Structure 1
């Protein structure tokens, strides 16, 4: 393995709160603070205002920025095509300032299913043009983050002499990590991304796709992975099924065919994650499939994290 330690982050259960009928963002902030205390490197929040309702990730992370000191704050992943780049650049720059430069802007186009298309329709954005809008948004936001008056002319967005304040903490703005697999998405990561946040089902696939991105630009290779931990692997599998099917309203088998999911013991989970680290992953974003996020966060930190770090 490389000498560079892989970092491990925790996805805040914003979607799970809504599914449980609980609307307590303050509890999510407390979980972020606890993740920092337990030694995790980052905390993350997802984005899906209509398809899979949850707390707004940027407002939530503004609160987390004030409650923590060390952990990186990420979006896994934000849908920039749903927003105008001037407004989104303004929000992200302010959040980067609030967090003293700890923000990671994970972004994606939105998974091509009917529910996602319905979300775009509800907000009044053409679903078929979402990738072009995302690419233009990234280009426009990077210009806007300069702190100077800038102009932009694209197919989807155009503006003249716009200056935003405050500028981000870091010159050039927060790093942008792109989700996605497949030739076009991987080439896009290599061309405009600062990081890559996919969820391929096997470490071997991860290694092959990482090679497609290439090394023309520095790109942080990350991984979005779901764990269901239990000393009884069979129970873990059933709990994973319940959690995933409730989350996506789709069969476990379908989600497992496209996403990195693991159910089993903490020791086996660490070995599975280490396979991705061997394949090149350097930042793991962990979603826990559980009904007790506080307890399983402790288990992740106490029983999985040491084995991942030990292997490195």
Structure 2
């Protein structure tokens, strides 16, 4: 079994909410995450709904400041962009990072704020899934380095050749978010990895098995990396942890904690409790954890996670 990978979500949205707007601090946090032994650093995407630093520009800076960690988007919204331009950016970023990029992608959660984001850039919200699927298909062809012609329902172009090609043949791995029926079928059909946030490890196990069964069916079976996006709030006082989680989540999403907790993997408690909770997902098959910390002090929060939770997770994985 592959070694458990553990990553850290850079607090781009948290910084924006607090009005700090200092991307250099985010780059420093990425460098510190690498020093502390984490395996990956991630950046989210939402230019209008939940404004924050651009993930690809930020990760380009992180690529130059780090040597080992994987760099991921959690998650990028390809339907907001043209696939020629996005393929060019991702290929260049993969080159800059020496092949460390993971392109996590999603369609955007269906709510009025996300719909308004698509409308702001002139893209029909109802078309986002079709655009995303065509983008993935077109980008993988463009990453060949050869001249490509493409004709789909949403995009069409003739004899386009991009340079530089990505570091790896076929381009960076594409991980898709999502749970339930159509999303799981999409992961099995298109993705190299799966990055969901189900509220229960038991649900994670069942959905992972759906994907595993689907990818075993073709004449040429392939593997899909099972990952998890999870939010933690650490505190030696579990009640205080829950209060802090509520404040952080409601500030981040502009929605009640109960609503977010009903659809996302979130946890508040001690380091030991958090490690046990995450270990439940590892037992359900997760092999790459992407951790978002709900805290007011992300520098201290990163140190606490690496000092108190990371060793427990490593010990459980042996």
User: What's the TM-score once normalised by structure 1's chain length?
Assistant: 0.99
| Deviation (angstroms), 1:5 | 1.8
Q: Is contact 1:183-1:212 (8 Å) kept?
A: no
Q: Is contact 1:151-1:161 (8 Å) kept?
A: yes
Is 1:148 the equivalent of 2:153?
no
Deviations 1:36-77 (A, max 9, x none): 000000000000000000000000000000000000000000
- 1:100 corresponds to: 98
Q: In 2, distance between residues paired with 1:139 and 1:151? A: 12
1:125-136 matches, within 5 Å, as 125-136=123-134
| Deviation (angstroms), 1:212 | 1.1
- 1:263 corresponds to: 268
- 1:253 corresponds to: 258
Q: In 1, distance between residues paired with 2:253 and 2:37? A: 30
3-state DSSP of counterpart to 1:246: helix
Aligned length: 310
Give the one of 286, 294, 300 matched to 1:295.
Answer: 300
Alignment RMSD (CA, Å): 0.5
The 4+ residue runs of structure 1 with deviation greater than 4 A are none
Q: In 1, distance between residues paired with 2:154 and 2:46? A: 22
Q: In 1, distance between residues paired with 2:131 and 2:284? A: 31
Q: In 1, distance between residues paired with 2:296 and 2:136? A: 36
3-state DSSP of counterpart to 1:223: strand
| Deviation (angstroms), 1:234 | 0.2
- 2:235 corresponds to: 230
1:204-215 matches, within 5 Å, as 204-214=202-212, 215=215
Give the one of 170, 180, 183 matched to 1:182.
Answer: 180
Flag structure 2 segments of 5+ consecutive residues without an equivalent.
217-221
Deviations 1:111-132 (A, max 9, x none): 0000000000000000000000
1:1-312 matches, within 5 Å, as 3-214=1-212, 215-216=215-216, 217-312=222-317
